C-alpha cells in the first residue's frame, strides 16, 4: 500500500530534550515536506526537500532541523524543544516535476507533540 | 503573495442538505488549488484539485468544486450531506516558487446533524 508513515504518533517530552520524528514514504517520491498544524492557522511548512541531500527552509524553520540522506526518509529533528513547538506535525511527499505546482502531496497520519 | 481564505471556521448542516464550504484565493498567477479533508485523528486526504483543465472539478465522495477566476473562488460543494462527511476541510493553493509548498487556509469544520 502506498503510504507515508510517521513515528511516533504521540509524544510528550520536556523542554530541552532532543527528539526526532521519523517520516518514511514508499512511493519513490522526490519531494518531501514537513508542516505543523496549529488551531486557526491551518498548516505551515517547516522544511522541504526536493531530493536526496537537497533541503530548504519553509515558513517556520526556527528550532527545527532536517536531513535527507535517503530518498524514502525525511526525519524532523528538534534539538532543544520548547513549549511553543507543541503542535501537530505532518510529513508529506509528492512526485517532483519541475515548473509545476500541480503535484498532489500525500500526507502522513500526523505526530502530536507536547513539550512541557 | 499567494493566500487562501476560508469563510466560516464551523459549518453545520442537516443530513441530506447541501454542503457549501467557501474558499477564496489570492494569486498573481494562474493557481493550482486543492481541497483536502482531515478526519479525526487522521492525516489529510486529497478530495480534489484544480490544475487549469476543467473549471468544474469532481472529487471523491461526491464532492465537487468550481474554479471562478472572476470571483477568485474555489468553493466546495456536495448536494447531499452524509454523517460520514463530518470532518475538517482545508483549501490550499500551491506556491509557485522553488518550494512548491501548499499554502493552507485556516480550515472549516463541517458538522452534520442527524
Only one residue has cell 490550499, namely B92
Residues B18-66: pLDDT tens digits?
Answer: 999 999 998 877 788 999 999 988 889 999 999 877 889 999 999 999 9
Please provide the average confidence, as pLDDT, over all residues in chain A: 93
Which of B30, B43, B60, B88 best probes binding to A when mutated, by most A CB atoms within 10 angstroms?
B43
B99 in reach of chain A (CB within 8 A): yes
Q: Which percentage of chain A shows pLDDT scores above 70? A: 96
Could you tell me if B49 lies within 8 Å of chain A, comparing CB atoms? yes
Binary contact (A108, B32; C-beta < 8 A)? no
What is the average pLDDT score of chain B?
91
Judge whether residue A99 has pLDDT over 70. Answer: no
Contact A105 B51 (CB under 8 A): no
- Residue B108 forms contact with A (CB below 8 Å): no
Burial A22-52 (b: 16+ CB within 10 A, else e): ebbbeeebbbbbbbbbeeeebbbbbbbbbee
The DSSP output letter for A71 is: S
Structural contact between residues A110 and A7, judged by C-beta atoms closer than 8 angstroms: no
Task: Name the percent of chain A lying above pLDDT 90.
Answer: 83
The number of C-beta contacts closer than 8 angstroms across A and B is 63
Three-class secondary structure assignment of chain B: CCEEEEECCEEEEECCCCEEEEEEEECCCCCCEEEEEECCCCCEEEEEEECCCCCEEECHHHCEEEEEHHHCEEEEEECCCCHHHCEEEEEEEECCCCCCCEEECCCEEEEEEC
User: CB-based contact (8 Å) between A56 and chain B?
Assistant: yes
The string of pLDDT tens digits covering residues B75-108 is 999 999 999 999 999 999 987 777 778 899 999 9
Provide the shortest C-alpha distance from residue A77 to chain B (in Å). Answer: 20
Instruction: Judge contact between A56 and A65, C-beta under 8 A.
Output: no
Question: For A65-82, what is each residue's pLDDT tens digit?
Answer: 999 999 999 999 999 999
C-alpha A103: how far from chain center: 18
From chain B, pick out residues whose CB is under 8 angstroms from the CB of A58. Answer: 99, 101
The answer to whether the beta carbons of residues A34 and A77 sit under 8 Å apart is no
Amino acid at each position: 500500500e502506498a503510504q507515508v508513515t510517521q513515528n511516533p504518533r504521540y509524544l510528550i517530552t520536556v523542554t530541552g530534550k532532543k527528539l526526532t520524528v521519523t517520516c518514511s514514504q514508499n512511493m519513490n517520491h522526490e519531494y518531501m515536506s514537513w508542516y505543523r498544524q496549529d488551531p486557526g492557522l491551518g498548516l505551515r511548512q517547516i522544511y522541504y526537500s526536493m531530493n536526496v541531500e537537497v533541503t530548504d527552509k519553509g515558513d517556520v524553520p526556527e528550532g527545527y532541523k532536517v536531513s535527507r540522506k535517503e530518498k524514502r526518509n525525511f526525519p524532523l529533528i528538534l534539538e532543544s524543544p520548547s513549549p511553543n513547538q507543541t503542535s501537530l506535525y505532518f510529513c508529506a511527499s509528492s512526485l517532483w516535476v519541475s515548473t509545476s505546482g500541480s503535484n498532489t502531496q500525500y500526507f502522513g497520519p500526523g505526530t502530536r507533540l507536547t513539550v512541557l | 503573495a499567494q493566500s487562501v481564505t476560508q469563510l466560516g471556521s464551523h459549518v453545520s448542516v442537516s443530513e441530506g442538505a447541501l454542503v457549501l464550504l467557501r474558499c477564496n484565493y489570492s494569486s498573481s498567477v494562474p493557481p493550482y488549488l486543492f481541497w483536502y479533508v482531515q478526519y479525526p485523528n487522521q492525516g489529510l486526504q486529497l478530495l480534489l484539485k484544480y490544475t487549469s483543465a476543467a473549471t468544474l472539478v469532481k472529487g471523491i465522495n461526491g464532492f465537487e468544486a468550481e474554479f471562478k477566476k472572476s470571483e477568485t473562488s474555489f468553493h466546495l460543494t456536495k448536494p447531499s450531506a452524509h454523517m460520514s462527511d463530518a470532518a475538517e476541510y482545508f483549501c490550499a493553493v500551491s506556491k509557485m516558487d522553488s518550494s512548491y509548498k501548499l499554502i493552507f487556509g485556516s480550515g472549516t469544520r463541517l458538522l452534520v446533524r442527524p
